[in-house]
C-alpha cells in the first residue's frame, strides 16, 4: 500500500498536540517555578531550624542580619554595616525603613528579642549553643544594635544568620507551624504545606534587594530519585538540585531540553574513627587504612567525577586552606608495612588469626552504601575484614553520637568559618555539645582551637589554624576523602539560576521561565 502523503501532516500535528514530540511542560504559568526536595523541612520555625532543608526554607522566607553569597562569603542583609569596637563588642547598623509583609517595622528591638530568646539560659532552641557567649544585647536606637560578649569569638558574626520574626513570636516558646506563620521580611512567604508539597509566594514588601522575579515557588517533596528523574525528564519539574544520583544526572544531561551545571561545594567527605575503640585508637591502623583507600577510583566510578580529592577540611579555594597539609596518597605497600608494625605490638588486641575485623557504619543512602562497599573491598587487600552495618538515619546518628560504632563516613556541608574545626575536634565538642563524634582529644589542639576562636585578626588566625590542621593530619581522627561538587539539572528555558556553594536556593529569586 502506498503511503497517503496528504494525511502525514495531520498525523504529525496530532502527535504535537498530544505532547509526544517533546516532553510535556506541566508548568504552564511562566511566573511559577517548580522544584523538588527529598524531604520536608523538620521545622518551620527559624529558631528551631537545624536540618539543611529547614535552613534552606528559612533563607527563602525570612531575612537575617547576615547571609552568605554564592561563594560562601558572609555579607550583610539586614545589617548595613558593622564594627568591632573591641574583641568583646560588636556594633551593627541596620538598614532603615525595612518592614515585614504586614507593614510592621523590622527594627533593632525586633532583632534583640530574637537573640535574647536564643541566648537565654533556659532557651529550648537547638541553636542556643551558638549564642551562649552573649553577655548582653543593647538596642540604643531603632537602627543600632550592640552585642556584648563574655569572651572574644571571631566566629560569632557568622552565627547571626537566624531568620528574624516579629516581636510577639520571638518571645514565646511555642514552635511556629504553618497555621501561625508570621509576617515575613524575606523574599517569599510560605502559604501552604502538605506531606507532598510546599507553596511559596512572592513577598511584595521585600525591600532588602531586588524583589523575586517569580510570583510562586512550588516545592515538591519527592523521596524517590527515580520519580524525581522521571518528572524532570517529562517537564513536570523545572529544577532539581542534588536529589538525583550522579549516574542519572549524566544520563539526563544528554536530553535536549535539560541543562546540567556543577560547582565546587563547601563540603568535605570524610571517614571517621571512634578514638575510644581499642583497635582504632592506634594511629598505625588509622594511617594504614588511609594509605589503602583508593580515593581516585571511588571518585571516578562511584562519584562520577562530581568530586575532587580532599587533602584537609578546607577546599583549595577556601581562605583557610593550608598548602602544607595533605591527606593519604594510595600506597598499598606502605599500608601493609604499617599493619606489620602494628601486629608486633603485643598490647594491641589482635586475634590469633592475625586478621583484623572492623565494622563500617553507614546509612541506607545508595551512594553511601556503594562507597562503604568500595572501601571494604579496598581494605581487604591489606587483610582487613570490614563488615558493613547499614541502618536508617535516625539509628545511624544515634549510634554514632553514643560511640557505638568503629568507623563511619559522612560529610561536613556548607561550613564557612574555620571554627568548624572547633566543632568537629575540640574536647568540649563531644556529643551532645558538638560534632566531635569520634571523641578525639588532645590538649595541644584544644589550646590552638580556643586561640583561633578568640583571634580576630586574619593573618594571626590563619597561622593558628594552619598549626591546628597539621596536628589533625598527624593524629588522623579523620581520613579526608573528597570535596563533593554541587550539581543542578533544570530546563533550558529556566534562566538566572546560580548554584550557591553551601547548597542554598536563594537564587530562586532571580529565575524565570522564557
Give the angle subtended at the CA of 122 by the CAs of 161 and 109, to the nearest 5°.
45
In whole angstroms, give the CA distance from residue 171 to residue 114. 7
Q: Which residues contact 224 (CB under 8 A, 6 or more apart)?
A: none
Measured torsion, CA atoms of residues 439, 333, 315, 479, in degrees rounded to the nearest 10: -10
Question: For residues 26 and 105, which has the higher predicted lDDT (pLDDT)?
Answer: 105
pLDDT band at 469 (very low <50, low <70, confident <90, very high): very high
Least confident range of 173-182, 187-196, 391-400, 422-431: 173-182
Instruction: Say what percent of the chain tops pLDDT 90.
Output: 69
Residue-wise pLDDT for 166-198, tens only, equals: 988 888 888 887 777 889 999 999 999 999 999
> Residue 22: CB partners within 8 Å, gap ≥ 6?
256, 257
pLDDT category of residue 240 using cuts at 50, 70 and 90: very high
Q: DSSP 3-state assignment of 333?
A: helix
Under CATH, to which class is 267-485 assigned?
Answer: alpha beta
pLDDT band per the 50, 70, 90 thresholds, residue 225: confident
Q: What is the DSSP string of 158-199?
A: GG--PPP--HHHHT--SPP-GGGPPP--SSEEEEEEETTEEE
Confidence of residue 50 (pLDDT cuts 50, 70, 90): confident
Q: Would you place residue 235 in the very low, low, confident or very high pLDDT band (cuts 50, 70, 90)?
A: very high
pLDDT at 15 over 60: no
- For the record, the C-alpha cell of 252 comes out as 539526563
Rounded to a whole number of angstroms, the distance between the first and last alpha carbons of the chain is 45
Asked if the peptide bond before residue 127 counts as cis, ω within 30 degrees of 0, the response is no
**What is the C-alpha to C-alpha distance for residues 214 and 207, in angstroms, rounded to an integer?**
16
Report whether pLDDT(11) > 50: no
Over 50: is that where the pLDDT of 22 sits?
Answer: no
pLDDT of residue 375: 98
Contact 378, 331 (CB under 8 A): no
Which region, left, alpha or beta, applies to residue 217 given φ > 0 means left and ψ of -120 to 50 means alpha?
A: beta
pLDDT digits 0-9 by tens, 277-319: 999 999 999 999 999 999 999 999 999 888 999 999 999 989 9
Q: Report the DSSP beta bridge partners of residue 485.
A: 264
**Side-chain-side CA neighbours of residue 401 (13 Å):** 12
Longest dimension (CA), the chain: 92
CATH superfamily, domain 78-168, is: Dipeptide-binding Protein; Domain 1 (3.90.76.10)
Closest to 116 measured CA to CA, from 73, 144, 145: 145
Asked if residues 382 and 335 have their Cβ atoms less than 8 Å apart, the reply is yes
Tell me the C-alpha distance between 232 and 489, whole Å. 8
Helix (H, G, I), strand (E, B) or coil at 460: helix
- CA gap 187, 203 in Å, rounded: 6
Start-end ranges of CATH 3.90.76.10 in the chain?
A: 78-168
CB atoms within 10 A of CB 150: 11
By C-alpha distance, which of 199, 215, 207, 163 is closest to 509? 215
Q: What confidence category does residue 4 fall into, taking pLDDT thresholds of 50, 70 and 90?
A: very low
For the chain, give the mean pLDDT.
89
Closest CA to 33 of 503, 487, 493, 501: 493
C-alpha 416/C-alpha 338 separation (Å) is 35
pLDDT band at 242 (very low <50, low <70, confident <90, very high): confident
> What gap in Å lies between CA 372 and CA 211, rounded to an integer?
45
User: Helices 366-380 and 283-292: crossing angle, nearest 10°?
Assistant: 110
Residue owning grid cell 580556643: 450
Give the separation between CA 294 and CA 406, rounded to whole angstroms: 20
Whether residue 472 is predicted with pLDDT greater than 70 in this model: the reply is yes
Report d(CA 193, CA 292) in Å as an integer: 48
Q: What is the pLDDT of residue 349?
A: 62
Name the segment(s) of the chain with CATH classification 3.10.105.10. 267-485
Amino acid at each position: 500500500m502506498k503511503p497517503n502523503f496528504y494525511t502525514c501532516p495531520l498525523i504529525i500535528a496530532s502527535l504535537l498536540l498530544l505532547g509526544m514530540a517533546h516532553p510535556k511542560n506541566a508548568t504552564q504559568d511562566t511566573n511559577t517555578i517548580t522544584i523538588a526536595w527529598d524531604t520536608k523541612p523538620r521545622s518551620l520555625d527559624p529558631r528551631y531550624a537545624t536540618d539543611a532543608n529547614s535552613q534552606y526554607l528559612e533563607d527563602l522566607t525570612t531575612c537575617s542580619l547576615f547571609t552568605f553569597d554564592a561563594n560562601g562569603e558572609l555579607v550583610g542583609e539586614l545589617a548595613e554595616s558593622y564594627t568591632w569596637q573591641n574583641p568583646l563588642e560588636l556594633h551593627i547598623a541596620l538598614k532603615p525603613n525595612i518592614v515585614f509583609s504586614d507593614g510592621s517595622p523590622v527594627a533593632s528591638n525586633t532583632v534583640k528579642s530574637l537573640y535574647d530568646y536564643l541566648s537565654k539560659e533556659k532557651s529550648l532552641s537547638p541553636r542556643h549553643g551558638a549564642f551562649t557567649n552573649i553577655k548582653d544585647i543593647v538596642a540604643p536606637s531603632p537602627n543600632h544594635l550592640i552585642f556584648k560578649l563574655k569572651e572574644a569569638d571571631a566566629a560569632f558574626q557568622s552565627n547571626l544568620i537566624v531568620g528574624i520574626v516579629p516581636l510577639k513570636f520571638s518571645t514565646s516558646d511555642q514552635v511556629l507551624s504553618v497555621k501561625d506563620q508570621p509576617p515575613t521580611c524575606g523574599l517569599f512567604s510560605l502559604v501552604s504545606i502538605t506531606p507532598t508539597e510546599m507553596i511559596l509566594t512572592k513577598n511584595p514588601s521585600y525591600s532588602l534587594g531586588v524583589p523575586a522575579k517569580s510570583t510562586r515557588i512550588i516545592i515538591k517533596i519527592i523521596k524517590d530519585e527515580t520519580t524525581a528523574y522521571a518528572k524532570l525528564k517529562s517537564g513536570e519539574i523545572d529544577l532539581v538540585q542534588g536529589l538525583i544520583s550522579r549516574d542519572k544526572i549524566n544520563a539526563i544531561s544528554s536530553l535536549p531540553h535539560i541543562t546540567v551545571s556543577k560547582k565546587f561545594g563547601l563540603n568535605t567527605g570524610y571517614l571517621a574513627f571512634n578514638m575510644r575503640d581499642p583497635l582504632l585508637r592506634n594511629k598505625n591502623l588509622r594511617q594504614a587504612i588511609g594509605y589503602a583507600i583508593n580515593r581516585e577510583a571511588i571518585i571516578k566510578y562511584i562519584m562520577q567525577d562530581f568530586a575532587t580529592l580532599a587533602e584537609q577540611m578546607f577546599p583549595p579555594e577556601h581562605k583557610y586552606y593550608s598548602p602544607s597539609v595533605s591527606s593519604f596518597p594510595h600506597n598499598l605497600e606502605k599500608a601493609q608495612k604499617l599493619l606489620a608494625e602494628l601486629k608486633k605490638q603485643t598490647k594491641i588486641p589482635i586475634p590469633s588469626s592475625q586478621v583484623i575485623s572492623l565494622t563500617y557504619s553507614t546509612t541506607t543512602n545508595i551512594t553511601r552504601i556503594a562507597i562503604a562497599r568500595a572501601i571494604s573491598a579496598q581494605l581487604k587487600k591489606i587483610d582487613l575484614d570490614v563488615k558493613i552495618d547499614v541502618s536508617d538515619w535516625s539509628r545511624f546518628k544515634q549510634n554514632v553520637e553514643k560511640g557505638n560504632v568503629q568507623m563511619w563516613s559522612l560529610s561536613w556541608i556548607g561550613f564557612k568559618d574555620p571554627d568548624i574545626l572547633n566543632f568537629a575536634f575540640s574536647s568540649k565538642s563531644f556529643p551532645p555539645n558538638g560534632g566531635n563524634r569520634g571523641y578525639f582529644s588532645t590538649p595541644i589542639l584544644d589550646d590552638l582551637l580556643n586561640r583561633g576562636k578568640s583571634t580576630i585578626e586574619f593573618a594571626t588566625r590563619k597561622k593558628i589554624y594552619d598549626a591546628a590542621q597539621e596536628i589533625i593530619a598527624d593524629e588522623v581522627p579523620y581520613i579526608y576523602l573528597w570535596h563533593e561538587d554541587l550539581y543542578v539539572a533544570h530546563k533550558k528555558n529556566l534562566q538566572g539560576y546560580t548554584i550557591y556553594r553551601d547548597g542554598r536556593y536563594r537564587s530562586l529569586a532571580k529565575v524565570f521561565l522564557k
